[in-house]
Amino acid sequence: MKSPCIGACESSGSMCVGCQRTTKEIAEWQSYSDAQRDQIMAEIKGETSSHECPVCQAKTQCDIQNGKSRCWCFDIDKRDSENVVKSGVCMCRKCLSALPIL
Ligand SMILES: [Zn+2]
C-alpha cells in the first residue's frame, strides 16, 4: 500500500512528525483509494499546492482555499502561532507541526 510513512512515526498534537499526516489521515489511510492517497502525498510533498507557507515559503495546501469546507489542519491540535507572522494564510504542515501545542 502506498504510504508517505518514513518509519519515524511519532504523533505530536494529532500530527505525525515523520510523515506529516494527521492522525485522522493515518487512521483512515486504509480506507482511502489510491487516488486519495496520491492526492495527500502530493500535498505533503508540495507537488500540488494552493499557496506558499508564510514562514518557510514552501509550497503548501489549504483545502479551504481550494473551495472545500474543511482543511486537514482542522484535525490537529491547536498550535501556538502567537509569535508567527499573521498573514491570514495557513502554514505548511512542517512549520505547523513544529509549533508548541496549546
Ligand atoms: Zn512552512
How far, in Å, from the CA of 20 to the mean position of ligand 1? 12
Tens-of-pLDDT digits for all 102 residues of the chain?
788 888 877 888 999 988 999 999 999 999 999 999 999 999 999 999 999 998 999 999 998 888 889 889 889 998 888 777 666 788 999 998 888 888
Q: What is the largest CA-CA distance in the chain?
A: 39
Cα 82 from Cα 61, distance rounded (Å):
21
How far, in Å, from the CA of 90 to the mean position of ligand 1? 9
Buried/exposed code over 4-26 (b: 16+ C-beta within 10 A; e: otherwise): beeeeeeeebebbebbbbbbebb
How far, in Å, from the CA of 60 to the mean position of ligand 1? 8
The domain segmentation of the chain, as residue ranges, is 23-98
Residue 10: the pLDDT is 81
